[in-house]
Structure 1
Amino acid sequence: MSAPHSAPHHPSLPAGDAKKQPHLGADPSKKASCFGGGGDHHPKKPGPSAAKLALASFLGVIILLAADASLTGAGAHRRLRQQYLHYVGVGVGGGGITDSLSWLSVPDRPNFTDDLLARWLAPGGSPCRDARTANISVEVLDDAAARGEATTLGAGEIHEVTFWALDEAGQRRCLGGDYFEVDLSGDAWKSRPPIVDHGDGSYSFRLQVAPRFAAGEFRLTVVLLFRSWEGLKFSSSRFKYRAELRRIPLLFRPDNNASLPALETCRAADFSRDAWSGRWTRLAKNDSCEDVDAAGRYRCLESDHPCEAPWCDGPLGALESNGWVYSAHCSFKLFAADASWRCLDGKWLFFWGDSNHVDTIRNLLTFVLGITDTSVVTRRFDAVFTNPSGGAGTLRITSIFNGHWNMSMNYLGLHSLRNRGFRQLIRSYFMSGDRVPDVVVLNSGLHDGCYWTSVRIYAQAADFAAQFWSGVMDKVRARGRAVPRVFYRTTIATGGYARDLAFNPNKMEAFNGVLVEKMRRHGVLTGGVIDNFDMTFPWHYDNRCNDGVHYGRAPAKLVWRDGKVGHQYFVDLMLGHVLLNAICNE
């Protein structure tokens, strides 16, 4: 195989502000009323007839529905929307959204690139805007944590928590741009709560734990990785902050009467979301399995150990994760070899992205399809594989490394498309012969973090890339061929030491959002999005499951970066099964 993409190696909990602050929602000095209140007193008039009362009630319902549509839409003003939700009885702030339980999701992000650039370039000019964040105030959780107590929340409910960025003097900032890593972990649960930067120094995140996993104590950890958009800078390692500001104990109270909607197995339409909010759950555990075997494999459960509905479907043991599995707004089928070959037989898959694609393809072939000789799987290859069991099944895979137009070099990313020969190479797979690929999986890649000096310039490169791929698909249509289903697989959250480097999670999350938006606007993503960033984030804090820039290195019984033996590859193997769900569930 060619040389792998590798990164250069670089090598107290502050007290919170306990002062109480006013609620950010409805103004407590004003009393809500349907038809107004107060004012001058007038003599009573004769009461309305029953018909008039019925008409007024009907009109009131129409007004309320109109308010619902306008105040919960994507363009709604946040403060007005909070007042509306408070008025109709839906909890906000530290409370739970309890009227009807639903799965937590990421808010819509309209005009992602323009909004990102506007926030990034927001001027200072006042002490609270120019100050540097040194701590946070989490009003609804800090008091209990200061007493050494765990805060108890209802399981299944979505709990929204608002916190403020504080400067070194403990004063609130009034500008956003800080990048916080938020982790919610228990013995059988790991997730990244979605966080929203409101742009005024306040941030909010939402917590949810399914009742099935509510037992035991949870830890809510908040890390300030970068301040004031500094993670987006070209040489971000000089600006790292990486301070753990909170580690708060939480308990989730099971409610036998609370039930979340059924988590269905993913179908084609489920890949339409631009960003996911999933969780890793542990459905089984072999306590005696602490180390890898001689081949570097984590074969802790029997390979056919079954999944538990609704969290997954199929052989959980095939993940070699000792019971961990990922699910999001839908759950995923885990494919046995025969089912995989039935799905993939006769298909042509085309991959374009960084070297993480190489790992995923190799792991898919090895762990799922049962192919032992994967020597052909390099940065750039085009090969046909056959079912090793002797049954029916052939599969063509093409993979083009995009870190550089020269496959032996690195750190150009999307700029590789400026090379004419590289563009022609890509087009050749769609413009010649009787067939075009059935499925295309695109990825921007970590190399972009090392090349582009600003978000503004990257946005231009992303637009060029989206136009290029749109043009490729237009030529496919002009040939009278069916356009492939095209997916964007978001770039990983780099782990351990690499959290500080030029391809840090702050920058990669922003670049993911920019490129997805550009691809959407040019009509490229006919298949949808596979959010590998969300999948990898819960495991990115150290190097137990990654070498910093890969989550799927081949098994080997070697001392890893943290000084321990082994390297858990199950995070990338889970991605392989997610890809099969996208490919097979048409």
Structure 2
Amino acid sequence: MPEKAANFAWSNPRVHQWFKILTIAVFLGILILCGSDENPRFNLSWVSPELEVNYSSNLLTKWLTPGGVPCKDSRTVDIKIQSLDSDSDSTIELSAGEVHEFVFQAIDGSGEPHCLGGDYFETDLSGGNWKSRPPIKDFGNGTYVVSLQIHPDFAGNYNFTIILLYRHFEGLKFSPARFVFDKVLRVIPIKFVNSNSNSHLPEVEQCKKFDFTKDVWSGRWTRHARNENCRISNDGRYRCQKPSFPCVHPWCSGPLGLLESNGWVYSTHCSFKLYSSEEAWNSLNNRWIFWWGDSNHCDTIRNILHFVLDVQSIPIVPRIFDMNITNPKNPSQKVRFTSIFNGHSNHTGNYQGLDSLSNPNYRELLKSYFTDTNVVPDTMIMNSGLHDGVHWPNIRQFIKGADFAASFWGDVMKGVRERGFSPPVVIYRTTVATGGYARSMAFNPQKMEVFNGVLLDKMKEYRVLDRVVDDFDMTYPWHYDNRCNDGVHYGRAPLKAKWRDGQIGHQYFVDLMLGHVLISAMSP
């Protein structure tokens, strides 16, 4: 009976007519809704790379791939980008806001396509007020795809640069300096134009707790002020704007002048708060932060103390550091910073990295902070460190070392739970992209990016990881020279002296930005 009724209904001309009217009405409603001023017609999306599932095992497979006879003697020396390579001198125009994907092919010395992946291309998209690293996807067969995007607010003229730093995972070798290629393959002028007023990108919102669960970031540095007359002061500082100079919505919130960056600020899938001293103390009051990492951690702790918390009484943060720190303006506020160096089991040594955990006395030292008292750290900030880049002979051995490290910290957190305490929130701060001369050394960007991915993969496997701060992405746009780094550090103390490039002083704001991001990650 129901089936007969249904057949009767569909055979009724009036039903068909009403159905057509209803369908047209719904369609017109959607067009009106999407075409209204309040609801733009086209909703764009941000570039958003992801960490590959089973990263470590897949990496090992790619690294060991022989390639067969066609690729045995082939080596990449150039690329072909059919959509961007042009014989004309005219500037390429692209629409701002959209993600533009360009496939390019690795080419060997005979001009033939190379059929293996693993080449390491450095990419840079730079204009007067925007610097970013366009992400690349490696298909493993000699073809790659790169994604370009800038926000419509920053439409204008850019240079898109591609540098071939290493071929077929050669940056992962024990002595990679012998294999560095470091050739600029393309510098392509591109003009980004606002071509569609009815399209828009989602607004970058201030970071919340969930935003720090993203494993890989794809951010950008944007500039919102410029003081051409800014000069370094006698204490090595760059005070180019007043400390109260405000952030520009939505790229950050708070006093941008405190960053001492002459207007630059970093944002990614979310934007960050820049903290006044009072706000930072309110956020960190009565906290215990446990740091486990390389000497970049020492720089970051000192910079947080000096520039953010306004504590000037601690000129140097040594490799082993444990101190209750009092707010000089409000003695009732305190924070405990504990930092244990992981470059070597002996804090005076170097280049042991995660293998420092093979020393039983060192393991017991680390455990003691989580087992010997009636209180445990509420936050742990860690990284693998540049020392791993020097220590491990190959990627297979580092994967084993990362597995052991993640297992060790998994057991420590398990012990905390068994004692009836809440384990600390674990934040992995990815290792920096080494800059200038260090791009060709044992801790080169290709190796450190891979090591970051491996340790992230292992930390997730052992359920140790809670949040990620991608300092690799944050430092990458500034790693091509030594203006913001000494090769391996981005936060050296300000000093009015000649820097590596022969100029006076250096720009330390990249590490100051990290300090504010870490406070956000601790208290989103």
Please state if 1:184 is matched with 2:125.
yes
Contact 2:79–2:106 (Cα < 8 Å) also in 1: yes
Q: In structure 2, how many angstroms separate the alpha carbons of the residues matched to 1:187 and 1:115?
A: 39
Contact 2:67–2:115 (Cα < 8 Å) also in 1: no
Alignment partner of 1:441: what SS?
strand
Within-5 A mapping of 1:428-577: 428-526=368-466, 528-577=467-516
Contact 1:294–1:557 (Cα < 8 Å) also in 2: yes
Alignment partner of 1:326: what SS?
strand
Contact 1:129–1:175 (Cα < 8 Å) also in 2: no
The corresponding residue for 1:41 is none
The corresponding residue for 1:159 is 100
Within-5 A mapping of 1:397-408: 397-408=337-348
The corresponding residue for 2:229 is 288
Please state if 1:274 is matched with 2:220.
no
Same amino acid, percent of matched pairs: 55
Alignment partner of 1:582: what SS?
helix
Alignment partner of 2:200: what SS?
coil
Contact 1:188–1:281 (Cα < 8 Å) also in 2: yes
Please state if 1:198 is matched with 2:135.
no
Contact 2:172–2:446 (Cα < 8 Å) also in 1: yes
Letter in 1 for 2:67: G
Q: How many residues align?
A: 490
The corresponding residue for 2:269 is 329
Unaligned runs of 5+ in 1: 1-47, 58-97
Relative to structure 1, the CA distance from residue 262 to residue 161 in structure 2 (aligned partners, 3 Å threshold; closer, same or farther) is same
Q: In structure 2, how many angstroms separate the alpha carbons of the residues matched to 1:332 and 1:49?
A: 61
Contact 2:302–2:315 (Cα < 8 Å) also in 1: no
Moved over 2 A (4+): 48-51, 124-130, 255-258
Please state if 1:578 is matched with 2:521.
no
Q: Deviations 1:386-419 (Å, cap 9, x if unpaired)?
A: 1111354100000000000100110000000000
Deviation of 1:487 after TM superposition, in Å, equals 0.7
Q: In structure 2, how many angstroms separate the alpha carbons of the residues matched to 1:509 and 1:246?
A: 22
Q: Deviations 1:24-65 (Å, cap 9, x if unpaired)?
A: xxxxxxxxxxxxxxxxxxxxxxxx9799x99xx9xxxxxxxx
Contact 1:129–1:174 (Cα < 8 Å) also in 2: no
Within-5 A mapping of 1:161-240: 161-215=102-156, 217-240=157-180
Q: In structure 2, how many angstroms separate the alpha carbons of the residues matched to 1:455 and 1:185?
A: 32
Q: In structure 2, how many angstroms separate the alpha carbons of the residues matched to 1:99 and 1:131?
A: 44
Q: Deviations 1:443-473 (Å, cap 9, x if unpaired)?
A: 1000001010111110000000000000000
Q: In structure 1, how many angstroms separate the alpha carbons of the residues matched to 2:403 and 2:73?
A: 32
Letter in 2 for 1:240: V
Q: In structure 2, how many angstroms separate the alpha carbons of the residues matched to 1:381 and 1:274?
A: 29
Q: TM-score scaled by structure 2? A: 0.91
Q: In structure 2, how many angstroms separate the alpha carbons of the residues matched to 1:149 and 1:134?
A: 26
2:192 to 231, 238, 252: 252
Please state if 1:417 is matched with 2:357.
yes
Contact 2:51–2:453 (Cα < 8 Å) also in 1: no
Q: TM-score scaled by structure 1? A: 0.82
Q: In structure 1, how many angstroms separate the alpha carbons of the residues matched to 2:92 and 2:11?
A: 52
Letter in 2 for 1:115: N
Q: In structure 2, how many angstroms separate the alpha carbons of the residues matched to 1:175 and 1:392?
A: 61
Q: Deviations 1:339-393 (Å, cap 9, x if unpaired)?
A: 0000101000000000000000000000000000224621111001111113541
Letter in 1 for 2:48: S
Alignment partner of 2:364: what SS?
helix
Letter in 2 for 1:434: N
Q: In structure 2, how many angstroms separate the alpha carbons of the residues matched to 1:175 and 1:129?
A: 10
Q: Of Structure 1 and Structure 2, which has the larger fraction of its residues in strand?
A: 2
Contact 1:129–1:173 (Cα < 8 Å) also in 2: no
The corresponding residue for 1:263 is 204
Contact 2:164–2:184 (Cα < 8 Å) also in 1: yes
Deviation of 1:174 after TM superposition, in Å, equals 1.1
Alignment partner of 2:212: what SS?
helix
Q: In structure 1, how many angstroms separate the alpha carbons of the residues matched to 2:148 and 2:297?
A: 32
Contact 2:43–2:199 (Cα < 8 Å) also in 1: no
The corresponding residue for 2:61 is 118
Letter in 2 for 1:551: Y
Please state if 1:105 is matched with 2:105.
no
Q: In structure 1, how many angstroms separate the alpha carbons of the residues matched to 2:73 and 2:417?
A: 52
Deviation of 1:510 after TM superposition, in Å, equals 0.3
Contact 1:155–1:253 (Cα < 8 Å) also in 2: yes
Q: In structure 2, how many angstroms separate the alpha carbons of the residues matched to 1:155 and 1:130?
A: 41
Letter in 2 for 1:112: Y
Deviation of 1:128 after TM superposition, in Å, equals 4.1
Contact 1:124–1:130 (Cα < 8 Å) also in 2: no
Q: Deviations 1:460-515 (Å, cap 9, x if unpaired)?
A: 00000000000000000011001110011000000000000000000000000000
Deviation of 1:108 after TM superposition, in Å, equals 4.3
Letter in 1 for 2:501: D
Alignment partner of 2:390: what SS?
helix
Please state if 1:127 is matched with 2:67.
no
Q: In structure 2, how many angstroms separate the alpha carbons of the residues matched to 1:385 and 1:150?
A: 55
Unaligned runs of 5+ in 2: 1-9, 20-40
Letter in 1 for 2:404: F
Alignment partner of 1:252: what SS?
strand
Relative to structure 1, the CA distance from residue 376 to residue 147 in structure 2 (aligned partners, 3 Å threshold; closer, same or farther) is closer
Letter in 1 for 2:214: R
Deviation of 1:257 after TM superposition, in Å, equals 2.6
Alignment partner of 1:249: what SS?
strand
Contact 2:433–2:476 (Cα < 8 Å) also in 1: yes
Alignment partner of 2:85: what SS?
helix
Letter in 2 for 1:178: D
Contact 1:303–1:318 (Cα < 8 Å) also in 2: yes
Q: Deviations 1:250-301 (Å, cap 9, x if unpaired)?
A: 0101143322112110011101111100000001111211x31111101001
Letter in 1 for 2:253: D
Letter in 2 for 1:548: G
Q: In structure 1, how many angstroms separate the alpha carbons of the residues matched to 2:203 and 2:139?
A: 32
The corresponding residue for 1:342 is 282
